[in-house]
Amino acid sequence: MNQSVQQGHPKGLYVLFVTEMWERFSYYGMRAIFILFMVKALMLDKAFASNLYGSYTGLVYLTPLLGGYISDRYWGNRRSIIIGGLLMAIGQFTLFFSGSMISSTPTGTDATASMLMYLGLGFLIFGNGFFKPNISTMVGQLYPKADKRVDGAFTISYMGINLGAFFAPLVCGYFGDTNDPADFKYGFLAAGIGMVIGVLTFVMLKNKYIVSPDGTPIGMPKVATAATANQEGEVDIPSFNMSKILMWLAIGIGLFLFSNLLLNSI
């Protein structure tokens, strides 16, 4: 490898930078207006809205247990990122449709809008579970072992996260929080468009730039490393074990319910 390449960073780092920047834009943009949407548009009780917001953010940090397991065992980073990003985009657009049910003088009795909100949250929670644990892990794979540039690469990666988080409330808040409850949908729409941009960037550039130093694609399913040899020396490819997936999901939900019960008892 020549000296000029060693001194700079792989272009794949900037693909991941842009992808994660737009994902964080989508995530924090939605969070910036979510409680306001529930209180001002859906006319929900403030305490209930706060609890729902806390439950959402809690589950967002639990589902990566499931997403990370499926990625490491079956799908690989690339497929998990794409599926997770698409699920989150669907979630944002579902919230947009929920907001589209709201008039400028909401009554708080629109059951369809509430149902769409819960459905959108479900897509966002599971989408984040597949996306979040996989995007950052690919950064280190762009470099040879013991490469000193890795520390700087993660710093650049977190700059993308912070950049998306900085502009998200400004943009989504500007379009969504206009003192007209019917306009919240535009904030969710902006968040959804941001997520689509991130996914498209990743899909279009991953094969060209997200590769290891020797040109091998990174983030592929780890069939070879996860496979085990049977007694005849043949390779057994791991099957999609739904029972283990449900087990991890049950563990995550159990931990979430336990933490909620503990906090409510304090």
How far, in Å, CA of 190 to CA of 172, rounded? 6
Q: What is the pLDDT confidence band of residue 233, given thresholds at 50, 70 and 90? A: very low
Q: What is the pLDDT confidence band of residue 122, given thresholds at 50, 70 and 90? A: very high
How far, in Å, CA of 185 to CA of 92, rounded? 9
CATH code for position 176? 1.20.1250.20
Residue 46 in this model has a pLDDT that exceeds 80:
yes
Per the domain annotation, does 19 fall within a domain?
yes
Tokens of 82: 């794409």
Mean pLDDT of the chain: 84
Q: Which neighbouring-strand residues pair with 51?
A: none
Encode 35-61 in three state secondary structure: HHHHHHHCCCCHHHHHHHHHHHHHHHC
How far, in Å, CA of 222 to CA of 40, rounded? 47
Tokens of 207: 């094969």
If one counts the domains in the chain, the total is: 1
Per the domain annotation, does 144 fall within a domain?
yes
Q: What is the pLDDT of residue 167?
A: 96
Per the domain annotation, does 69 fall within a domain?
yes
Q: What is the pLDDT confidence band of residue 4, given thresholds at 50, 70 and 90? A: very low
Write the CB contacts of 220 (distance below 8 Å, at least 6 apart in sequence). Answer: 76, 77, 78
Tokens of 261: 């019960």
How far, in Å, CA of 82 to CA of 134, rounded? 10
Q: What is the pLDDT of residue 255?
A: 59
Residue 48 in this model has a pLDDT that exceeds 70:
yes
Whether pTM exceeds 0.75:
yes
Per the domain annotation, does 205 fall within a domain?
yes
- Torsion 197-198-199-200 (CA) sign: positive
Per the domain annotation, does 231 fall within a domain?
no
Residue 143 in this model has a pLDDT that exceeds 80:
yes
Q: Give me the domain span that covers residue 27.
A: 10-221+240-265
Pick the closest to residue 239 from 84, 74, 37, 92 (CA basis). Answer: 74
Range in 22-36, 158-172, 203-217 with the lowest mean pLDDT: 203-217
How far, in Å, CA of 174 to CA of 125, rounded? 24
How far, in Å, CA of 100 to CA of 98, rounded? 5
Per the domain annotation, does 106 fall within a domain?
yes
How far, in Å, CA of 205 to CA of 253, rounded? 35
